[in-house]
Amino acid sequence: MISRLLVANRGEIARRVFRTAREMGISTVAVFSDPDAATPFVREADHSVRLAGSTPADTYLRGDLVIAAAQQTGADAIHPGYGFLSENAEFARSVISAGLVWVGPPPDAIEAMGSKLGAKRMMRDAGVPTLPWAADITAAAEVGYPLLVKASAGGGGRGMRIVRDQADLAEAVEAASREAAGAFGDATVFLERYLDAPRHIEVQVLADSHGNVVSLFERECSIQRRHQKIVEEAPSPVVDEALRNQLGAAAVAAARAVGYVGAGTVEFVMTADGTFFFLEMNTRLQVEHPVTELITGLDLVRLQLHVAAGEPLPATALAPTIDGHAIEVRLYAEDACNGFLPVTGTLRSFEVPAGVRVDAGVESGSEVSPYYDAMIAKVISHAPSRGESAGRLAAALAASRLHGVTTNRDLLVRILREPEFLAGRTDTGYLERHDPAVLGAPLLDADAGQVAHLAAAALALQTVSRAAARVWSGLPSGWRNNPATMQRVTLNADGCEAAVSYRFGRDGAITMDVDGRPVEVALHSAENHVVDATISGTRRRYHVVIAPSGETVDVDSSLGASSYRVVPRFADPADQVAAGSLVAPMPGAVVRVLVSQGATVSKGDPLVVLEAMKMEHTVASPADGTVVELRVEAGKQVDAGAVLAVVEGPAG
């Protein structure tokens, strides 16, 4: 058996593999980049080694450093996780050549399936149905429009562009190639016929070195943004036993054709009538593997380790059964209402209620950096029925305390409660039919909910203020002999300011208004971050956390969640940004500058392209006008909020 395991990855997947390794009595080794030095996965490993990559983004791609770390710490095996080097055949060969156990499929199988082009040729030759495709841009007409430009070495939605017209093809190929080179070190792309709104169905396969290959059933992964899954479930709500057998047989045949060993996934697209086509094979553990684990009761990482040690699959894996229904959502640090723009910052709070599985790379206080994928956690539910599983997961997400960075939590909650999803009518066009800006809007009601949270925040602030007072701390904040003057605090939420005014009477009664509108308030208690109050006729408990600096206030209740910045009474002029300034929405590298100083632009015109979290993001002009200042150039790193350019509108 393996005695010491190095995980050549980071974040939640490193923690996930460590968890099973500890249960099996296997010592663990973490490797990390400088931005990850203080993250949970590094702290939880028995041994950890810093990798000295040239940049944080390429650190985990240095196979030579990973193998050296294994040798330095006495590790006898390497688990690649997913992403980074997990589907790099040369890395796998180097691991084996170094005398280490490779917890993955044979390098030849990785090589065969690692190239999307090679995989399609092999499946076509094996009689597995494939979509029309071509390796050459000149064959676009033969493939037919719409088509998908796709990275041959890619995954996770990177290096993909949908093209509906020949006029857009060249630019799409260039952008996809550039993104693929940055994410995978391989700029090769190909063309594939694009199906509008098919289902995305994948089959988990498991194989050992003794000739056993088995299907562990299908997963439905149709709800996607930017070709990347955000909701996955098992089993699929539309796959019956006959179709399940067909999908499983095709997946097993694909695995046998490539001589597969270990855990892998065969992905298909499926039309409404149940016709399916081979999409690709992922020669690694998938992000969504927990839903398969929950419905089968199998630990896929444990099975990976046993297979890597040369053992045959156990009887429980060779004759799997389905128990209930599991749903996973990917929690991202991103703004679903703003084109899924990734965000960075400090996660002040990360607390998910018990009753669901949480695979997370973060904890309260973690820093979300611009160097890696924006996913911060996976939250997974399991229940006897699909409806109960969806309800349980939605309730847990809604009750989670997530503050400090914008997340897609509210979008996920609304998807799980949306009628079309609950009816199982999902496909890859789901988020085209359902506007993410609507689904992703805050769960907190913009009127009554916001007023209640503003009131609770003001009550908490005054309680903390009085507790810190050196004299007369027993008096409520703002108490006056002359009751004419009210205490006032201004709170800012996403650029919108609200003024909360309040006064405590001699009998403890509170007079309060929000932006001049009277609010009925009765305070029952305020202690240990909990404000128990009746606001506008309804009593609730509000969980309120005020930052030690006093600059931010986070509020959670049954109404939803909100965060506020306490506006200083006197603003610092240095913090002001000139009108018309185009600012960086996140830290990143400037890939391209599309205009020159003095250019005339219209609102919405693309001006600058940034790269962050391995994705490109276009920053557009905020208004019609002239570019009077251009402060960046290609290759420059910028911080969030940095001024990229200034657009001045027409006079008058």
| DSSP-assigned letters across all residues of 101-155 | EE-SS-HHHHHHHHSHHHHHHHHHHTT--B--EESSGGGHHHH-SSEEEEETT--
SS3 577: coil
**Same-domain status, 375 and 406:** yes
Which DSSP category does 168 fall into?
Answer: G
The pair of three-digit structure tokens given for residue 594, joined into one six-digit string: 């599309």
Same domain, 408 and 434: yes
Which residues lie across from 619 on neighbouring strands?
Answer: 608
CB-based contacts of 618: which residues, under 8 Å, 6+ apart?
606, 608, 609, 610
Residue where a domain terminates, one of 193, 228, 263: 193
The predicted-structure confidence for 549-562, as pLDDT tens digits, reads as follows: 899 999 999 999 99
- Inter-axis angle of helices 300-308 and 11-23, nearest 10: 70
Q: Please state the domain count of the chain.
A: 5
Those residues whose C-beta lies under 8 Å from the C-beta of residue 88, and which sit 6 or more positions away, are 63, 80, 110, 114
Q: What are phi and psi of 125, to 5 degrees?
A: -65, -30
Q: How confident is the model at residue 571, as a pLDDT?
A: 56
Q: Fill in the amino acid letter for 452.
A: A
Domain termination residue (choose one: 402, 421, 439): 439
Task: Judge whether 111 lies within some domain.
Answer: no
Strand partners, 234: 326
Rounded to whole angstroms, how far apart are CA atoms 603 and 622?
Answer: 5
The answer to whether residue 358 sits within a structural domain is yes
How would you class 621 by CB atoms within 10 Å of its CB: exposed for 0-12, middle for 13-18, buried for 19 or more? buried
Say if residue 204 is in the same domain as residue 189: no
Q: Which residues contact 391 (CB under 8 A, 6 or more apart)?
A: 416, 417
Q: Find, among 265, 238, 232, the residue nearest to 380 by Cα.
A: 232
Q: For the domain that residue 491 is a member of, what is the CATH number? A: 3.30.700.30
Helix or strand or coil: residue 597? coil
What range defines the domain where residue 231 resides?
A: 199-439
Domain-located, residue 112 = no
Which of the residues are catalytic? Answer: 284
Is 90 a member of any domain? Answer: yes
Q: How many angstroms separate the CA atoms of 54 and 62, rounded?
A: 10
Mind listing the pLDDT tens digit for each residue in 347-392?
999 999 999 999 999 999 999 998 999 999 999 999 999 999 999 9
Q: Which amino acid is at 151?
A: A
Are 469 and 613 in a shared domain?
Answer: no
For residues 341 and 271, state if they share a domain. yes
CA atoms within 13 A on the CB side of 628: 12
Task: Kindly state whether residue 73 falls inside one of the protein's structural domains.
Answer: yes
In a domain, 124, yes or no: no
- What's 441's DSSP letter? S
Q: Which of 541, 566, 591 is the last residue of a domain?
A: 566
Most confident option among 126-135, 147-156, 159-168: 159-168
Please give the Cα distance from 237 to 214 (Å, whole number): 21
Indicate the pLDDT class of residue 577, thresholds 50, 70 and 90.
Answer: low
Quote the pTM value: 0.85
Could you tell me if residue 113 is inside a domain?
no
505, two tokens: 């009477």
110: tokens are 């990785």
The pLDDT of residue 617: 80
pLDDT at 534: 97
The reply to whether 110 falls in a domain is no
CATH code, domain carrying 60 = 3.40.50.20
Total residues belonging to the chain: 652
Together in a domain, 224 and 321: yes
